[in-house]
Amino acid sequence: MSATAAITTRHDWSLAEVRALFEQPFNDLLFQAQTVHRQHFDANRVQVSTLLSIKTGACPEDCKYCPQSGHYNTGLDKEKLMEVQKVLEAAAEAKAIGSTRFCMGAAWKHPSAKDMPYVLEMVKGVKKLGLETCMTLGRLDQEQTQALAEAGLDYYNHNLDTSPEFYGNIITTRTYGERLQTLAYVREAGMKICSGGILGMGESVDDRAGLLIQLANLPEHPESVPINMLVKVKGTPLAEEKDVDPFDFIRTLAVARIMMPKSHVRLSAGREAMNEQMQALAFMAGANSIFYGEKLLTTANPQADKDMALFKRLGIKPEEREEHADEVHQAAIEQALVEQRDSKLFYNAASA
């Protein structure tokens, strides 16, 4: 395939085709990915999101990469669901440093009926701040999905993590089919999908290709595709895994960009371990979204000022939300916080 050929949006990728992309000379692959990227995006704009853990630890899932799993002793403190007000204050701070999307993650297998009202209030409150909203709460049923959509949730994150063939080596408490079903519910409810995977768990190149095939062959591509590099945490079964080769990681980003040309490809967990040169290559490969702020759920993330310094050196600017003009930002923040202070839902969900 010519690197300059126009790429159509496809949903019928084969393993042989994706292998061929991975096997290209590195420079050819990056040139093709950057060419595709420029057909759909401003090459010097990066979407900026902030992620907050709204409920930490004691998750019943056994994901071998996760320090929040209750199956492993990682020294992580267990925390209850945050108060709505504290979440909104964190969202306002995220907006103040330049984030346009606020993502909220809870260490659950699925949301409980008792916690859902508080989760819905968080969505409504963050929306009033003028931010895009995203949540990751585990498996959803149709009723929960519809409730989130009606509250105004923009994105739902539910990663596939790896290929169907390798998945059982990483997780046994939730099936691949259940993950795909949650994504289907999210799409049926009219929300956008954020779904990607993790590199460095001992998977093969074919497993990386298989993950991207699952995502790209969905009826609609995910609007956001986070590509994570395993953050090895002592106490988890993957703590001693071999590091991902940086060029292999960049190759995966580039292939994701080619296969899902209109999706935002997010440089996600593991960015703290990447030097500036690797991050610059990631943007060249078509990554155009990052998590921004000091912490990514329970692991470190480059600080905002460090990110902005790198952006300046590379001539990159944060992507903006056109529908929210700068002059209304502060007024929206103040009004939403005032309204939420009057709500009885400020109290911690655990006290209900």
Is 119's pLDDT higher than 50?
Answer: yes
Contacts of 93 (CB under 8 A, 6+ apart): none
- Ramachandran angles phi, psi of 194, nearest 5°: -115, 115
Confidence bin at 173 (pLDDT 50/70/90): confident
Residue 2's pLDDT is what? 42
pLDDT in tens, 245-260: 999 999 999 999 999 9
Q: Is 59 annotated as a binding residue?
A: yes
Contacts of 263 (CB under 8 A, 6+ apart): 221, 222, 223, 224, 225, 256
Confidence bin at 172 (pLDDT 50/70/90): confident
pLDDT in tens, 185-205: 999 999 999 999 999 999 999
Active site residue 134: yes
Instruction: Classify 87 as helix, strand or coil.
Output: helix
CATH number for the segment(s) 13-319? 3.20.20.70
Active site residue 194: yes
* d(C-alpha 177, C-alpha 185), whole Å: 12
Confidence bin at 298 (pLDDT 50/70/90): very low
The residue ranges of every structural domain in the chain are 13-319
Please tell me which residue in 179, 208, 251, 266 is annotated as part of the active site. Answer: 266
Active site residue 59: yes
Q: Is 174 annotated as a binding residue?
A: no
Confidence bin at 46 (pLDDT 50/70/90): very high
Instruction: Classify 95 as helix, strand or coil.
Output: helix
More confident residue, 323 or 176: 176
Active site residue 271: no
